[in-house]
Chains A and B, each alone.
Chain A
Amino acid sequence: MTTPLLQVSDLHVEFDTYGGTVKAVRGVDFSIEAGRTLAIVGESGCGKSVTVQAMMGLIPMPPGRITRGEARLRGENILGVSSLGGREVRGAEIGMIFQDPMSSLNPTMSIGDQIAEPLIVHRGYSQAQARARAVALLDMVRIPEASRRARQYPFEFSGGMLQRAMIAMAISCKPTLLIADEPTTALDVTIQAQILDLLRDLQNETGMALILITHDLGVVARMADEVAVMYAGRIVEYGSVEDVFYRSSHPYTVGLKAAMPSNDPERQHELRPIEGSPPDLFSPPVGCAYAARCPHSMQICRQQPAGLFGVGEAHLARCWLQHPASPHRPAGLTLGGHGHE
């Protein structure tokens, strides 16, 4: 068996706060192969950003703490490590782009200089080489008049252009993995479409893998090969994009889909919100974190955390309903529970 490009196992992250310890990530496992796109999807506070920040060494410690787990890039541990075989992990092996490009860039440095800086620091480029490379990169992310734009400052760029500049910076050292944390959330839909197209084109050109963090199931459907659905610090469903969308096997995934309007011209279902709100991660429930909101919850759900059960080839769900001995074991859940279909 080949080793995956990135393998994260049993990752636990906590934060100390005045109110107590927040268990933000409570045992996350996933892997990604070269050239593939994994979407990590979930609502605010589910731990999706903390998971990748922990991998990248971006968690301030204290107050943060990685209490357990490991992350391996081509088999080598990267947690708490800054370079692998002389190559920086952050920036060189793994590139990252963030939701808000305006606050992620230095307002007092020209865009071109900001892209050139890592090339000079990490790659030993000369000033002139790095500048030329920065212009080429801006051109690669389809910024018109790249050489003029390279001399401009962040305030002179629109949100979509800044995100392109961020992408140029992230891919400058040819990473094998690009992590995009809500890259289009702050952008309008037409600009979002441009950025998503760009990410896919760059992936085809360079063969890099992409981890896309988002809360938007539409973006997931457009981009992902594999999907991990997170809830309250854990992955509750994992599988191919088809399995997760068409054979949803965790009640939370089913609930998320039912809470969104359909785009079907013929049928328009009633929106069914997920009642209640996610649990308090200061003291997560003993059993399944979703049990209190779940229309299918049983006694065992409140007493014991559910394991990850296989529901198909490479399709997993963290739900007692999917236990091999469960009499209910449905192939693809329906809404059920309260009310009528």
Chain B
Amino acid sequence: MSELIRIRSLCKLFDLGHGQRVHAVDNISFDIAEREIVGLVGESGSGKSTLGKTLLGLHDKTSGEVQYRDEILPARYHSADYRRYARRMQMIFQDPYSSLNPRMTVGEIIAEGPRLHGMMTAAQAREASGEWLRRVGLHPDHMSRYPHEFSGGQRQRIGIARALILEPEFVVCDEPISALDVSVQAQVVNLLSELQESLGLTLLFIAHDLSMVRYVSDRMAVMYLGALVEIGPVDAVYFQPRHPYTQVLVASNPEPDPQSERQRVSTSIRGEIPSPVNVPEGCRFAGRCPKAMDVCRRSTPTLKPVEDSLVACHLY
């Protein structure tokens, strides 16, 4: 497998003024192979969505590089860059309610991309939109309807059609199922996996539901406070988590099985994710980590190979 995306020391800082800066994405490096699905997990505020948006040029890069095939993507996108790259790199958003323009028909929403990119004539775009509605399990007749006429799951299907009609290679799925009910989550996840396979897509699947990420992904990446703390094959990360934070995250994930839940010893750790403003030196997790040592507060750990995974922790 060849690498489709190479991320090198990527940083995204938000300047709050008064010398305060939010380290939303802090020195992250990893690769995403062609046709691979990388699941990205972490708690709110860990920088998952910012990373996804920075990869697509929706945020400027503060420093570091993102390479797409042989091209280094610009640090700051201009409109020509969007025209050049947006066709190949798309996004599916979390909230199926606010991410569709309520004043456009579904047909207009889906055809907008091809129209802006000058890929198709109006008639072709219309036909392609109908075809895509069918592929995502809706009906071509739905083209003339408005978003409010659809349920959450159906809107998410519209969002998928809008992203995929451009035939992208790489898609960032930003919590595509978090807003949906359990029975509908499975519908959307199965649709995404089918399309990923038939179109040969490469996905960055952002979610906080670890079980779902394990089901969908090839590799799992774990972020904490802007840093990548562990990445590896899903089953390795899920069943033998190495980083103490990953261990806590996995242990906090309630399983739909009363027996294993009964046997579970209390796993909660104290404290909460600290503010990402002016983060201190050392490991970000040290303040909450049950295994923290002196060195953890002094130096920032880098990713090191531990069996099949990469882990940023001084224990290894």
**Which residues does A use to contact B, with CB under 8 Å?**
43-44, 158, 160-161, 188-194, 196-197, 215-222, 224, 241-242, 245-246, 255-257, 259-263, 265, 268, 271-275, 277
Contacts and interface: CB of A to CB of B under 8 A. Distances in A.
Contacts of B266: 197
Nearest to B257: A221
Contacts of A256: 182-183
Given A217-B256, A222-B254, 6 more contacts: A188-B208, A193-B267, A194-B268, A217-B182, A218-B254, A218-B261
Interface in B249-302: 249, 251-261, 264, 266-270, 272-273
A221 B254 CA distance: 8
Contacts of A193: 251-252, 254, 267-268
A43 B182 contact: yes
Nearest to A240: B258
B184 A265 contact: no
Contact of B261 (A158, A194, A221, A259): A221
B257 A271 contact: no
Given A218-B255, A260-B211, A273-B187, A188 B248 contact: no
B46 to A, nearest CB: 9
B63 interface: no
Nearest to A293: B183
B43 A189 contact: yes
B235 A242 contact: no
Contacts of A217: 182, 256
Interface string B205-236: 00010111011000000000000000000010
A190 B249 contact: yes
6 contacts: A196-B268, A215-B182, A220-B256, A221-B261, A263-B255, A263-B256
B189 interface: yes
B256 A275 contact: no
Contacts, number: 114
B261 A272 contact: no
Contact of A241 (B252, B253, B258): B258
* The 6 residue pairs across chains A and B that have the minimum distance between CB atoms: A218-B254, A273-B186, A274-B183, A261-B215, A217-B256, A188-B43
Interface of B: 43-44, 151, 153, 181-187, 189-190, 208, 210-212, 214-215, 235, 239, 248-249, 251-261, 264, 266-270, 272-273
B181 to A, nearest CB: 4
B139 to A, nearest CB: 14
A272 B256 contact: no
Contact of A277 (B153, B208, B251, B267): B153
Nearest to A242: B258
A103 B268 CA distance: 26
Contacts of B153: 277
A221 B43 contact: no
A260 B258 contact: no
Given A43-B183, A188-B208, A263-B211, A257 B189 contact: no
A273 B258 contact: no
Nearest to B193: A271
A188 B266 CA distance: 16
A158 B274 CA distance: 10
Contacts of B268: 190, 193-194, 196-197
Contact of A188 (B44, B181, B215, B270): B44
B276 to A, nearest CB: 13
Contacts of A224: 258
Contact of B256 (A160, A196, A218, A268): A218
